[in-house]
Structure 1
Amino acid sequence: MADNGDKTHFGYKTVESDKKADMVADVFHSVASKYDLMNDLMSFGVHRYWKRFTIECAAARPGMRVLDLAGGTGDLTQKFSQLVGESGQVILADINESMLKVGRAKLQDNGVVGNVNYVQANAEALPFPDNHFDIITIAFGLRNVTEKAKALASMQRVLKPGGKLLVLEFSKPQNALMQKAYDFYSFQVIPKMGSMVAGDSESYQYLSESIRMHPDQETLKQMMLDAGFDQADYVNMTNGVVALHRGYKY
């Protein structure tokens, strides 16, 4: 969340707001090639369950338009492509060119063509018409956005009446013991893992810090309501380590 219009958080650091996007871009340029492998290692594969639950809650049907925002390497896009079929459309959008290239190559290698388009886009100013998408998902991307309120308002604008937004993101564990274990794992283990596997401990230090700076469950729910969603709720997973927030536009 930006501070006073010109300062914001980059992990635990305070930086100029207009520099954060480039700093985040550097992180994801660095981690793009090892992103899928590190996701599996860091979460012990559980991220696949979190994403599968998100897909189930989305309830995509043939013919729908879906925006997979901050879609990275395309895990959600691939499944949505199957669900909406030839009459539907999925847009994998990401602000980071490196992630978009990895995602496009991966999906094309997996035979995903035809109903998927790739767009480099900033979540704060989405380049799509009003009332355009039936479903918008953003998985593990909102915490990296500089102006989260602006991004949520942009998503609300391009969502059709009757549509839904699903925000899958790391959140706040619901008991002290889990929080303590999670902190140890995040700051003592993950950066070392990043160094060994991806040759980059600093990026994974930032990613752990960015989780702690992200709004908690109730705060994000209120931000979605403030952005114009008519209703919002959330479901905790893995004791609140991750939460799926759902916003509805009527």
Structure 2
Amino acid sequence: MSIPSVGDQRSQSDQQRKADDVQAMFASIAPRYDLLNRLLSAGIDRGWRRAAAEEALLLHPARLLDVATGTADFALELKRRAPACEVIGSDFVPQMLEIGREKAKAQHLDIRLEEGDALNLPYPDASFDTITCAFGFRNFADYARGLAEFWRVLKPGGRCVILEFPPPAPGLFGSVFRFYFQHVLPRIGGLISGNAGAYTYLPESVLAFPAPQRLAQLMVATGFRTRYRLLTFGIAAVHVGDKL
């Protein structure tokens, strides 16, 4: 058995610190999270979720896991579209999951919402036909490990769908969106949520996230056959990975 180096230990410590910070941040904004999503995206996020849901359900999965499910918006969308599919949502922020359970009850949709770490999913190998992750993947402390966990719990022939904000592309539209993300969004988000730091983190996390081609390469390196497409001039991107 090898002994972790000082560098490895420091990296693990940094990853745990990031995970703890992200968990605390999302717990603090949980009550206003859905409202802010609608306001800050002008409702466009609903269309993005629809596009990702179509990809996720194309192979008619019987059992689906939505990772980093948050308040379960995407998990509920998937259940509405595929009532016969067993949908499980996993997240490491209990406050978000509780709101999701209330929404599921109000909408009379039967989904399971469970606490879990995306980098160490509490499920056996080959447990799911499809795995989804909508706007949560960039918060992972280790992208490669997250993808490895997706691969592990997917059945052969299964599908992984990741919906995420890539860094703004070069050009006029990208520059305008970058200005909005860095200067306008934090002010609005901080005012409504009472946590300005959370909405400073959001643009920082997007700018630090891999470009779509790089994320596709990471998925290919994991073993997925991968494709992606940009949505709304590249504000969002949906990546599809099939486990052959």
Mark yes or no: TM-score above 0.5. Answer: yes
Contact 1:173 1:239 in 2 (8 A): no
Q: Distance in 1 between matches of 2:216 and 2:49?
A: 19
Q: Offset of 1:62 from its aligned partner?
A: 6.3
Who is 1:137 aligned against?
Answer: 132
* AA of the residue aligned to 2:105: Q
Query: What is the SS of the residue equivalent to 2:124?
Result: coil
Q: Are 2:41 and 1:47 aligned?
A: no
- Give ranges in structure 1 of 5+ residues lacking alignment: 9-14
Q: Distance in 2 between matches of 1:62 and 1:145?
A: 28
Distance 1:201 1:232, change over 3 A: same
* AA of the residue aligned to 2:96: M
Who is 2:104 aligned against?
Answer: 107
Who is 1:97 aligned against?
Answer: 94
Q: Distance in 1 between matches of 2:74 and 2:201?
A: 24
Q: Offset of 1:221 from its aligned partner?
A: 0.4
Query: What is the SS of the residue equivalent to 1:49?
Result: helix
* AA of the residue aligned to 2:230: N
Contact 1:60 1:135 in 2 (8 A): no
1:22 to 20, 23, 28: 20
Q: Offset of 1:60 from its aligned partner?
A: 5.2
Q: Distance in 1 between matches of 2:109 and 2:211?
A: 35
Query: What is the SS of the residue equivalent to 2:226?
Result: strand
Q: Distance in 2 between matches of 1:208 and 1:40?
A: 17
Contact 2:167 2:208 in 1 (8 A): no
Q: Offset of 1:117 from its aligned partner?
A: 1.2
Alignment of 1:60-139 (within 5 A): 64-86=62-84, 88-113=85-110, 116-139=111-134
Q: Are 2:154 and 1:159 aligned?
A: yes
* AA of the residue aligned to 2:20: D
Count of residue pairs brought into register by the alignment = 237
Who is 1:247 aligned against?
Answer: 241
Distance 1:91 1:77, change over 3 A: same
- Give ranges in structure 2 of 5+ residues lacking alignment: 1-6
Q: Distance in 2 between matches of 1:232 and 1:244?
A: 11
Q: Are 2:192 and 1:194 aligned?
A: no
Query: What is the SS of the residue equivalent to 1:239?
Result: coil
Q: Distance in 2 between matches of 1:16 and 1:57?
A: 34
Query: What is the SS of the residue equivalent to 1:48?
Result: helix
Q: Distance in 1 between matches of 2:19 and 2:167?
A: 24
Q: Are 2:144 and 1:149 aligned?
A: yes
TM-score by length of 1: 0.89
* AA of the residue aligned to 2:211: D
| Identity, % of aligned positions | 37
Q: Distance in 1 between matches of 2:143 and 2:190?
A: 29
Query: What is the SS of the residue equivalent to 1:235?
Result: strand
Q: Are 2:233 and 1:235 aligned?
A: no
Contact 1:94 1:121 in 2 (8 A): yes
Query: What is the SS of the residue equivalent to 1:125?
Result: coil
TM-score by length of 2: 0.92
Larger mean CA deviation between 61-70 and 179-188 belongs to: 61-70
Q: Are 2:165 and 1:170 aligned?
A: yes
Deviations 1:136-166 (A, max 9, x none): 1000101101011001000011111111100
Q: Offset of 1:169 from its aligned partner?
A: 0.3
Question: Once superposed, what is the RMSD of the aligned Cα atoms?
Answer: 1.7
Contact 2:100 2:113 in 1 (8 A): no
Contact 1:135 1:159 in 2 (8 A): yes
Larger mean CA deviation between 46-55 and 180-189 belongs to: 180-189
